[in-house]
């Protein structure tokens, strides 16, 4: 169980994504924001983001399980809120 609230995790992600991997994003970032469609990320960015989050939270996280679950749902994009939920379960 996480000691961080969903709101805190959302704030963490927003801070990271505002200037992520050389891209600046000034729009609103909320639970329904799409990583690929809204933020303009590409698949390699998902790997870099996973590594960034592991460093940020100082722990190894099972992103392969998260991505497999998203893939099983047939989703073509990932909502920030889905990642927030995953992180809260793992922290």
Q: Which residue has the higher pLDDT, 72 or 10?
A: 10
Across the strands, what pairs with 20?
Answer: 23
Q: Is the pLDDT of residue 21 over 90?
A: no
pLDDT at 2: 63
pLDDT at 1: 54
**What are the phi and psi torsion angles at 72 (to 5°)?**
-65, -25
Whether the predicted model's global pTM rises above the 0.85 cut: yes
Report the CATH architecture of 6-90.
Orthogonal Bundle (1.10)
Residue with tokens 């793992």: 90
């Amino acid at each position: 169980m996480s000691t961080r609230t969903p709101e805190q995790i959302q704030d963490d992600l927003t801070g990271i994504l505002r200037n992520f991997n050389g891209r600046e994003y000034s729009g609103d970032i909320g639970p329904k924001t799409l990583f690929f469609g809204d933020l303009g990320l590409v698949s390699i960015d998902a790997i870099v983001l996973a590594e960034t989050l592991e460093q940020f939270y100082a722990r190894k996280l099972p992103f392969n399980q998260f991505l497999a679950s998203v893939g099983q749902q047939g989703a073509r994009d990932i909502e920030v809120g889905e990642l927030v939920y995953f992180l809260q379960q793992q922290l």
